[in-house]
Amino acid sequence: MRTRKLRILYSIAALAPILLFSMLALCSPEVSLTLGFDGQVMRHRFAPLLINLSGLSEPMEGTLVVRQTKGVPGSTQAPISHTIAEGVLSNGDYEVTLPIVEPLNPITVELVDSEGSIVAGYAYSARLGIREWPFPLVVGPSVHVDRTEAIVAASELPTDWWAYDAVDSVWLSEPVVSAPILETLGEWVVSGGSLVLFTGSEFPRMDSPVFRKLLPLSTPVLTATPEGPYILQGNLRSHSIPDLQRDGVPILITMPLGAGTISLVTFRPEDLSEDEYARVLEEVKSATRMPSIEQLTLATLRSTSVPRPPYWITAALIALILTGLLLFSETSRHLRSNRTLAGLVIVILSATVSSGLYANRHNAFILLYQANTSIRVLSTFGLDVDLWTLYATQFTEVNLEHPRTSFPIPAQLPTTYGVDFSESADAQYSKFTLKRNERRDLTLLERG
């Protein structure tokens, strides 16, 4: 009996630490990361990130930081960090859209407490999802475009239009009930995106005021065909073109919107024949990125006047200097005998120097020049595009303020090798360094 009790006590003593550490592990904070669309990303393009924070027993004061590494492995590299959230953090999801610097390197998410210690971390490898070209994005299970397509649910779509930077076209066959997501898709189309809408008998589930803004049809009506499937019909909007027809009835209608295109398929995907579906794939246009606004910046710089003294003042200063030199050389021999003329020379030289200093009173040694060019698109779906051109005359640290809703991305693709600067950003500022005589162009994308 005594031996049995001892065995029970020994068992409890052995299990107690295991149970204790298991409970501590369950209560410890954890972070995880979902990147891109179906894991697919492109180098130097924006991508959506979904960060999940769990395991906190109570809200904590801290910071969520995403860290990347610029430069391919084996070359010169530099750290890039983005502060996603700071302050009081609690369990939940944190969504953000960031430029993907170099997906060959791990992307790390860290939870940092108020003292700067890392409480939890997660390293994500995007190597298997790297794409060299934009890819189709399919929302719903019944559409197949090609082997590079990313398939997601409607609830997974981000609400930043620049998050679709790496997407070639969006194929929507599943109802999207979120108005912000539909607004985002409209903004992306205005920026150059290509949106394909499959409707047919699914139209009642898709219908909403925002969805109707995307349709190339006004007063849409669902009508039964003699074959059985339902087709969406209505009056064509301005600039809408019926590209494909079945027995004289449009089955594919395209409409330009901003710099992009909306393609309406009036049937469900499964109601199309194989030939019709193949022709739809051929007719749908690929997305185009927002046109570069660097030329606008150059035109703005050419038309910008630089404050300077009038030309006649420059000519007068030169004349005064020459007159003063001539008088000085002429009177240097008679300086003792002609004090009036000597005083006149001194007055002219003093006036010349003083006028030169006054004309250049605003002159200062400028370390950093900054030119901003902005495009504001005001339409059914608005958006903002800003280009910042920075030029440093000496090595300098830049603390660039930007809106809290977005992070800047280089307007030009950086070189693969020779990376010698780092960058960090939070929800309001981006910090980096510029070398002497270095120019850097940054693009900032925002909602209108």
The string of pLDDT tens digits covering residues 90-112 is 999 999 999 999 999 999 999 99
Co-location of 122 and 161 in the same domain: no
Q: How many domains does the chain have?
A: 3
Burial class of residue 349, CB neighbours in 10 A (0-12, 13-18, 19+): middle
In what order do the strands lie in the sheet containing 30-35?
30-35, 46-54, 92-99
Please tell me the distance from the alpha carbon of residue 390 to that of residue 106, in angstroms, as a whole number.
29
Within a 10 A sphere around the Cβ of 46, how many other Cβ atoms? 25
Q: Is residue 229 part of a domain?
A: yes
- Least confident range from 267-276, 281-290, 328-337: namely 328-337
Cβ atoms of 264 and 167 closer than 8 Å: no
Q: Give pLDDT, residue 378.
A: 76
Q: Give pLDDT, residue 418.
A: 41
Q: Which amino acid is at 61?
A: E
pLDDT band of 293, cuts 50, 70, 90: low
Co-location of 190 and 49 in the same domain: no
From 130, 160, 194, the end of a domain falls on: 130
Cβ atoms of 234 and 219 closer than 8 Å: yes
3-state SS string over 53-85?
A: EECCCCCEEEEEEEEEEECCCCCCCEEEEEEEE
Within a 10 A sphere around the Cβ of 404, how many other Cβ atoms? 8
pLDDT of 356 > 90? The answer is: no
pLDDT of 161 > 50? The answer is: yes
Cβ atoms of 103 and 119 closer than 8 Å: no
Q: What Cα–Cα distance (Å) separates residue 195 from each residue in 80, 287, 376?
A: 33, 8, 22
Please tell me the distance from the alpha carbon of residue 24 to that of residue 434, in angstroms, as a whole number.
46
Q: Is residue 319 part of a domain?
A: no
Co-location of 162 and 266 in the same domain: yes
- Least confident range from 115-119, 218-222, 399-403, 437-441: namely 399-403
Co-location of 47 and 114 in the same domain: yes
Could you tell me the CATH number of the domain that includes residue 255?
A: 3.40.50.880
Co-location of 184 and 258 in the same domain: yes
Co-location of 154 and 80 in the same domain: no
Of the two residues 147 and 43, the one the predictor is more confident about is 43
The whole-chain average pLDDT of the chain stands at: 83
pLDDT of 208 > 90? The answer is: yes
Could you tell me the CATH number of the domain that includes residue 42?
A: 2.70.50.30
Q: Is residue 15 part of a domain?
A: no
Q: Give pLDDT, residue 419.
A: 46
Q: Give pLDDT, residue 347.
A: 72
Please tell me the distance from the alpha carbon of residue 154 to that of residue 18, in angstroms, as a whole number.
42
From 290, 317, 343, the end of a domain falls on: 290
Co-location of 121 and 73 in the same domain: yes
Q: Give pLDDT, residue 241.
A: 93
Please tell me the distance from the alpha carbon of residue 221 to that of residue 204, in angstroms, as a whole number.
10
From 290, 320, 335, the end of a domain falls on: 290
Q: Is residue 279 part of a domain?
A: yes
Q: Is residue 334 part of a domain?
A: no
Please tell me the distance from the alpha carbon of residue 323 to that of residue 186, in angstroms, as a whole number.
70
Of the two residues 286 and 90, the one the predictor is more confident about is 90
Q: Is residue 330 part of a domain?
A: no
pLDDT band of 146, cuts 50, 70, 90: confident
pLDDT of 309 > 70? The answer is: no
Task: Give Cα 81 to chain centroid, integer Å.
Answer: 15
Scored b (16 or more CB within 10 A) or e, 310-325 reads eeeeeeebeebeeebe
pLDDT of 366 > 70? The answer is: yes
Burial class of residue 91, CB neighbours in 10 A (0-12, 13-18, 19+): middle
Residues 6+ away with beta carbon under 8 Å from 173: 138, 139, 140, 142, 143, 198, 202, 268, 269
Please tell me the distance from the alpha carbon of residue 28 to that of residue 55, in angstroms, as a whole number.
5
| pLDDT (tens digit per residue) in 219-267 | 999 999 888 899 999 999 999 999 999 988 999 999 999 889 999 999 9
Please tell me the distance from the alpha carbon of residue 141 to that of residue 152, in angstroms, as a whole number.
8
pLDDT of 350 > 80? The answer is: no
Quickly tell me which residue has 């006149």 as its tokens.
344
Cβ atoms of 109 and 140 closer than 8 Å: no
Query: Beta partners for 245?
Result: 250
Quickly tell me which residue has 């494909």 as its tokens.
244
Q: Give pLDDT, residue 95.
A: 94
Q: What Cα–Cα distance (Å) separates residue 167 from each residue in 76, 96, 214?
A: 30, 17, 18
Co-location of 123 and 162 in the same domain: no
Of the two residues 441 and 417, the one the predictor is more confident about is 441
User: What is the enclosing helix (H) or strand (E) of 446?
Assistant: strand 438-447
Co-location of 74 and 147 in the same domain: no
| pLDDT (tens digit per residue) in 44-91 | 999 999 999 999 999 999 999 999 998 888 888 888 899 988 899 999
User: What is the enclosing helix (H) or strand (E) of 206?
Assistant: helix 203-206
Within a 10 A sphere around the Cβ of 257, how many other Cβ atoms? 21
Please tell me the distance from the alpha carbon of residue 104 to that of residue 125, in angstroms, as a whole number.
8
Phi, psi of 329 (to 5 degrees): -70, -35
Q: Is 279 helix (H, G, I), strand (E, B) or coil?
A: helix
Q: Is residue 438 part of a domain?
A: no
Co-location of 244 and 207 in the same domain: yes
Q: Give pLDDT, residue 11.
A: 59
Phi, psi of 141 (to 5 degrees): -90, -10
pLDDT band of 271, cuts 50, 70, 90: very high
* Domain around 161: 133-290
pTM given for the model: 0.79
Structure tokens at 306: 């630089």
Please tell me the distance from the alpha carbon of residue 65 to that of residue 28, in angstroms, as a whole number.
18
Of the two residues 414 and 258, the one the predictor is more confident about is 258
Q: Is residue 104 part of a domain?
A: yes
DSSP 367: S
Q: What Cα–Cα distance (Å) separates residue 249 from each residue in 191, 197, 265, 266, 320?
A: 30, 17, 12, 10, 85
Co-location of 126 and 185 in the same domain: no
Co-location of 78 and 182 in the same domain: no
pLDDT of 426 > 70? The answer is: no
